[in-house]
Amino acid sequence: MGYHSLLLELMRGIADAPLRASIARAFLAVVEGYRYGVLDDRKLRAVLAEFCLDVLSVKYPTRDVEELRPEAERCSEKLYGAVRAATLAERYTRTSGTGVG
């Protein structure tokens, strides 16, 4: 699943449109940071874990943060894999000259 779909899945249940837009902007800033080498793999994983925990805290304000942490970790690993795959594919097509993508 691509990272856009995973992000939509994460935001499911958040009805406030400006908040959803803000979450999407923050996520895309993280993706851009990784794409341009500002974030390495270790830092991307850490940022995504914190990001997912923040979004889940908004979705489930009555749940304890420690209760949300395992779900945030699963979510961040899925997002990490999707972001990494998309970035590697983009880098490959850009450097290989295949024009695919």
CA distance 42 to 49: 11
Asked whether residue 101 is assigned to any structural domain, the reply reads no
pTM value is 0.86
Asked whether residue 55 is assigned to any structural domain, the reply reads yes
Asked whether residue 34 is assigned to any structural domain, the reply reads yes
When divided into structural domains, the chain yields a total of 1
pLDDT value of residue 75: 98
Asked whether residue 27 is assigned to any structural domain, the reply reads yes
pLDDT value of residue 91: 75
Convert the pLDDT of each residue in 48-94 to its tens digit. Answer: 999 999 999 999 999 999 999 999 999 999 999 999 999 988 877 86
**Could you give phi then psi for residue 90, rounded to 5 degrees?**
-65, -45
Convert the pLDDT of each residue in 4-22 to its tens digit. Answer: 999 999 999 999 999 999 9
CA distance 80 to 22: 20
Q: What range defines the domain where residue 57 resides?
A: 3-96
Is residue 56 a contact partner of residue 4, using CB atoms and an 8 Å limit? no
Asked whether residue 13 is assigned to any structural domain, the reply reads yes
CA distance 65 to 56: 9
How is residue 76 written in tokens?
């961040």
